[in-house]
Structure 1
């Protein structure tokens, strides 16, 4: 499996043509398929795909981890470039999504996604769906562990009623290869530990080769401010050590300060994956 980061908040230092944004898009080559996991906040992931010699026309499927703008606002640009791919999302009611902090309220919905939501190429999923052989979308995620503290700033709005976001629009993806599983988290609003626990229950006695994606440990991305306490991040790292996980690759909403804490405990098992990074697993 080869995973290429098309967009992230940061980028590798040796490729000045790459651009960044607060968003996520991964290109995955596995099981004879090309999968796009998330589509960033704009068309910048397409620019980087050209720089990295990845052709959008060859993508077999796109998977949207959740409906916040920084993971799916590039959907219209993708549909223009790729005329065949299905787009997989979790089935849920249509809502607006809001970030609220004190007197600040910001709509973090994807207008592009809403515009294209009736497309015949969209597939709305529930439960566990094997979209291709050994490539699974998992919609129902465990609640064994506490969800990330940063979720307290995120709300949903429907019929003029505002409530805490339940994240009923979030999914994860699991790819099963001969030597183990790879989990793709998006932002892991449901909690990366809950995603791991779900995977272990779905695929018992199977090694997890890697976890890839954000862990939602940052509160204000501009300052990479870690939400919650050092103790909470330390608990996350120590609990991850209890699971059969080979490696962790993270970026986007994990934040550099939380990453340092995780790295101090997990050591070389965890790495950052900026824009332009290519990982063979």
Structure 2
């Protein structure tokens, strides 16, 4: 059985295909009998335009999995639900802390609201929320990583990313960050929204999660939160990936950053490393 993965929303669009880019990420995972979305991007109108141009409808989607609660990955949810006209509720999967208040400090007192969207104006019968810290099988051979607590390497958190806990704003450890894993015949496919848990930490977590099966990680897709990493840190990350995991393919976008993408191509070659703009389609046999 073939599973198709299509990028629906990310920073880089493709104007010639009438696909717009905006900050955020969203992937469509398409089975012969089902369609699942991983994140929805920030701007609902752009997301829905891209989804339509790619030949899909909100009514065809059974489930949405959120990588974490930040608005650039969840913001399109209210408009997406308003455009669903079927009675069957949408299943929403994520971590228990994804809906907590979140902000990003920008300059001085300026803070950007990054909280999961307010759902007060949405009919609660339109969706069902499933929150879990453990890995969840969303569809055949499609899993969430669950919570990634083991973070020996640098992660993608920073002082400017804060959350409200016990009525106090503190640095956000982003425990809600998760990725998806597709068990393909060629190996494990990791799909990241942002990988705030850290690229190496996510890879190590997935390696441990599937250690008993003997399956190796073959492909990384999506955001890896390396855009604030130093050249030295990126070099070290690439070396560890090559020494321990020998990952064959990278399709990088969003918060990976252009510098990191360039360095990955220089290190691993353009046959192994590609950008992943809106409209990118990849197929895997499971």
For normalisation by structure 1, the TM-score amounts to 0.88
- Structure 1 residues 171 and 233: CA distance shift in structure 2, 3 A: same
Partner of 2:39: 38
Q: CA deviation at 1:76?
A: 1.2
- Structure 1 residues 62 and 234: CA distance shift in structure 2, 3 A: same
RMSD: 2.2
User: Residue 107 in 1 paired to residue 109 in 2?
Assistant: no
Q: Distance in 2 between the 1:253 and 1:177 partners?
A: 25
The 5 A counterparts of 1:66-105 are: 66-82=68-84, 83=86, 84=88, 85-92=90-97, 94-103=99-108, 104-105=110-111
Q: Distance in 1 between the 2:263 and 2:232 partners?
A: 10
Which 5+ residue runs of structure 2 have no aligned equivalent? none
Q: CA deviation at 1:136?
A: 1.1
- Structure 1 residues 93 and 258: CA distance shift in structure 2, 3 A: closer
- Give deviations 1:88-126, integer Å, cap 9, x for gaps: 111127522111145032222233467669665111122
Which 5+ residue runs of structure 1 have no aligned equivalent? 219-226
Q: CA deviation at 1:201?
A: 0.7
- Give deviations 1:16-61, integer Å, cap 9, x for gaps: x222211111111147432100011021111111111122222221
User: Residue 145 in 1 paired to residue 153 in 2?
Assistant: yes
Q: Secondary structure at the match of 1:121?
A: strand
Partner of 2:8: 6
Partner of 2:50: 48
- Structure 1 residues 55 and 94: CA distance shift in structure 2, 3 A: closer
| Conserved? CA contact 1:248–1:270, under 8 Å | yes
Q: Secondary structure at the match of 2:203?
A: helix
| Conserved? CA contact 1:73–1:112, under 8 Å | no
Q: CA deviation at 1:14?
A: 2.7
**Across the two proteins, how many residue pairs are aligned to each other?**
271
Q: Distance in 2 between the 1:86 and 1:108 partners?
A: 22
Partner of 1:209: 218
Partner of 1:221: none
For normalisation by structure 2, the TM-score amounts to 0.87
Q: Distance in 2 between the 1:113 and 1:89 partners?
A: 16
